[in-house]
Structure formats: structure tokens, C-alpha cells
Amino acid sequence: MEDKYLSALPLGRTVAFSPLYDPSQLCPVPRSLARQALGISAEKGLPFYGEDIWNCWELSWLDENGKPLLAVAEIRIPADSPFLVESKSLKLYLNSFNMTRISGTEELKSTLIRDITAIVQAKIDLTLHMPEDFFHLRPGEPEGLCIDTLPFNAEKPAFPETGDSKGIISEKLFSRLLRSHCPVTGQPDWATVHIAYRGQPICHESLLRYIVSLREHTGFHESCAETIFCCILERCRPENLMVSARFTRRGGIDINPFRSTHSCTMPNERDFRQ
């Protein structure tokens, strides 16, 4: 099944751009493909809540007079949707609006919601950020403690573990060193990973070694966040856990999955590399 879906994706292939609106460009990818390796499934009940936040920076269309307009689209896809949308197919789909005349932003928004909902088979949220609102999209500094400057020993085990202290703490950590690989093209993907938890203190050095160990990991952005979440949840047993990964832009789109033990809404705060 995996070969069937991945071989049909436009990733890694030369694909003609459609000059006019074309929803057939969108390609779904079953979330179950990557979740099988983690031993999780929607049928058994997912161990997390969350969303995938997509920022689409190159959305442009024509008004009824043929004048180009533009916006940044913020798309939120729930983590329990059966499918995710493949990123290059979304880029091709959005590009198909470039020479398409649309009566107004409400028509554009309703069209985007309808087409993407049909692909992921779940209700999505979509916001169009117009140019007059772009100042809200400025990047900011991550919250919490950066673990990237800690001593590093590649010979030690590369799994997160709790320290000797038995007390319960709440802590926010982040690292800019996450790198993974696209499962189709093999190209590297880069992200800042954020971890917030309540529980026994997690050894920061062990967490850094684990994040660095993922430099050869292969997976879509969404599954990378779920891999990190499930590993920390299993090995460190926190009372509460949130993991988010803010990946750098590819093809005018950045993808930012977050997973949490509790239902919440994550603010869409840009990283400086996005």
C-alpha cells in the first residue's frame, strides 16, 4: 500500500503546472502508513491530540477584472484526519489559482476549504491573511530553554530519559537541530522542535542526543513530530506532554505539526528560519 501511494505523488517528478484552477492536483497520503511503525492507529485510539499548521506564502489569484491579488493561507488540519495532503500537490493546487478569476476572498476561502477537506476527509480551519495584516506574521524567539549548547557525547544512548530527581516539574525546551529526510526525495528537512511537559525532569543531554540521532530519520513532517512525541511519552512518562516542530519552508509552504496529551490550540508563531 505504501508504494501505491508514494509512487503516485508528484514529489521528485517533473510535473506541468496547471494555468487554471485544478483541484485534481491534490494528492492524499494515509496517516496510517507512518503510524503502523509506531504501533498506533485511529482505530485503537490515538495517544495525542493536535493539528498540522500549514503556512502557504505564495497564494495569488485574479479578481473579476483580472488584477492579481495575494494572501498568506494558514491551514489547520486535525491530527485525527485519515489523510494528510502531500505538500508538492498542495503547491501545484495553489498555483492553479494564479490565473483564475475569483469574485472575492469568501469564494476563494470556501473553495480551498471544500477541496482540502475532501482530500484529508476531516474538517479543517483556514484563515486568509491579507497584506494589510502581514505585520502579525513576524517571527519571534522560541519560549523556554535552548538545549543546543549542552555538552554532547555521541557514544551515549540516544534516547530521552528522566534524571535522578523524583520531583514533578513543568518545563519548556527547544532545539533548532532537528533534521530529517523526505521519504520520497531523500532531501533534508530542517525544523525547530519545541517540547513542553509536566513530570519527572527529563535529562536535557539525553534529549539533545535523541534529537541529533534523527538526522538520518526518514519521514514526512507530521510523522517526525509523532515519532518524537511517542518516544518521550513512552520513555519518560510525563503527566502532560506537547511536542511541536516548525519546519523550514519548501515550495513556499512551511508545515508545523504539534501533538499534545491534552486538547489545545497552538498559536501559529513563526520561527526566524521560516
Catalytic residue among 115, 189, 254, 271: 189
What pLDDT, in 10s, does the model give residues 184-228? 899 999 999 999 999 999 999 999 999 999 999 999 999 999 999
Largest CA distance in the chain: 68
In this predicted structure, what is the pLDDT of residue 263?
94
What is the phi/psi pair of residue 212, to 5°?
A: -65, -35
Residue with C-alpha cell 491530540? Answer: 49
In this predicted structure, what is the pLDDT of residue 8?
57
Per-residue pLDDT at 5 exceeds 70: no
Task: For the chain, list the domains and their CATH numbers.
Answer: 2-137 (3.30.1130.10), 145-260 (3.30.1130.10)
Pairing state between β 145-146 and 169-181: parallel
Distance CA 92, CA 21 (A): 10
What pLDDT, in 10s, does the model give residues 97-138? 999 999 999 999 999 999 999 999 999 999 999 999 999 999
The end-to-end CA distance of the chain, in Å, is 33
Helix and strand totals (H; E) in the chain: 6, 10
pLDDT, the chain, mean: 93
Instruction: Check: CB of residue 46 under 8 Å from CB of residue 229.
Output: no
- Beta bridge pairs of residue 93: none
Distance CA 52, CA 244 (A): 9
In this predicted structure, what is the pLDDT of residue 6?
56
Catalytic residue among 27, 56, 182, 203: 182
Per-residue pLDDT at 1 exceeds 50: no
In the predicted model, what is the mean pLDDT of residues 165-172?
91
In the predicted model, what is the mean pLDDT of residues 17-25?
90
In this predicted structure, what is the pLDDT of residue 10?
58
In this predicted structure, what is the pLDDT of residue 157?
75
In this predicted structure, what is the pLDDT of residue 158?
86
In the numeric block, which cell numbers belong to residue 140?
519571534
- Would you call 148 a catalytic residue per the annotation? no
The separation between CA 15 and the C-alpha centre of its own chain, rounded to angstroms, equals: 24
Residues 6+ apart with CB under 8 A from 178: 190, 191, 192, 193, 211, 214, 224, 245
- Would you call 27 a catalytic residue per the annotation? no
In this predicted structure, what is the pLDDT of residue 7?
54
